[in-house]
């Protein structure tokens, strides 16, 4: 009896929502797929990869110079161990070694700062690119919303905190992902957002994230 009463009350709560939804025009779009297949996303990834490769080259050059400096210090230490070395020559080489050690410490600090700065630069630039791409996608989605007079649009790629799809089911007829992708990639389409350029020296391991 209690179970039947509960079901009755539940149906009364759901029914008004279902009735109201009958007169609404609802659409769905897969934002992850749209982001992935948008040509501008691929362009942004290429720019970031180019910057990453350039920064790796610069980092390797600094690392090679650091290794060479270490080798020089080791060679000087070996020379200082030579018994035939005069006192004056030993003092001169000791000073040369100490100067190189001081320079190595500066190189270590500079390499660390270089890596941290480049990572931060590219992360910031990748974020700006992602925001620009998402805005452009959203603009096209909103154009479809207005032209089709839609009341609600759901992102079918989204999951809940439990990892369950937020949109459990929708008819294929209400999905307009293909239309959005086609509009975004249409040749000659004026872009509403210009992606920022990336300095060739800025790099890190990141890439545009999916929305």
* Torsion angle (degrees, nearest 10) of CA 28, 32, 35, 41: 180
Report pTM: 0.68
Which pLDDT score, from 0 to 100, does residue 196 have? 60
**Residue 183 pLDDT > 60:** yes
3-state secondary structure of 189: coil
Per-residue pLDDT reduced to its tens digit, 51-109:
889 989 999 999 999 999 999 999 888 888 888 878 888 888 888 889 999 999 999 99
Confidence (pLDDT) at 77: 87
Q: How far apart are CA 75 and CA 72, in angstroms?
A: 5
**How far, in Å, are 53, 126, 148 from residue 200 at the CA level?**
9, 13, 43
pLDDT band at 192 (very low <50, low <70, confident <90, very high): low
Distance, in Å, from the CA atom of 37 to the CA atom of 153, rounded to the nearest integer, reads 20
3-state secondary structure of 29: strand
CB count within 10 Å of CB 145 equals: 17
Q: Using one digit for the tens of pLDDT, what is the confidence trace for 193-203? A: 666 666 544 44
Whole-angstrom CA distances from 25 to 82, 160, 176 are 89, 23, 13
Predicted pLDDT of residue 190:
77
């Amino acid at each position: 009896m209690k179970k039947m009463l509960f079901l009755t009350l539940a149906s009364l709560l759901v029914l008004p929502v279902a009735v109201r939804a009958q007169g609404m025009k609802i659409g769905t779009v897969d934002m992850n797929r749209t982001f992935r297949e948008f040509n501008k996303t691929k362009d942004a990834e290429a720019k970031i990869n180019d910057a990453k490769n350039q920064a790796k080259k610069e980092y390797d050059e600094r690392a090679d110079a650091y290794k060479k400096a270490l080798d020089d210090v080791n060679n000087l230490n070996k020379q200082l161990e030579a018994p035939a070395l005069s006192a004056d020559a030993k003092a001169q080489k000791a000073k040369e070694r100490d100067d190189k050690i001081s320079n190595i410490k500066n190189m270590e600090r500079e390499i660390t700062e270089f890596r941290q700065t480049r990572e931060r630069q590219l992360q910031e630039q990748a974020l700006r690119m992602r925001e620009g791409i998402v805005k452009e996608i959203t603009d096209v989605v909103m154009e479809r919303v207005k032209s089709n007079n839609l009341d609600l649009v759901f992102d079918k790629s989204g999951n809940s905190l439990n990892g369950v799809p937020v949109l459990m089911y929708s008819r294929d007829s209400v999905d307009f992902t293909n239309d959005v992708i086609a509009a975004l990639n249409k040749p000659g389409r004026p872009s509403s957002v210009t992606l920022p350029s990336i300095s060739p020296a800025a790099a890190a391991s990141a890439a545009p994230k999916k929305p």
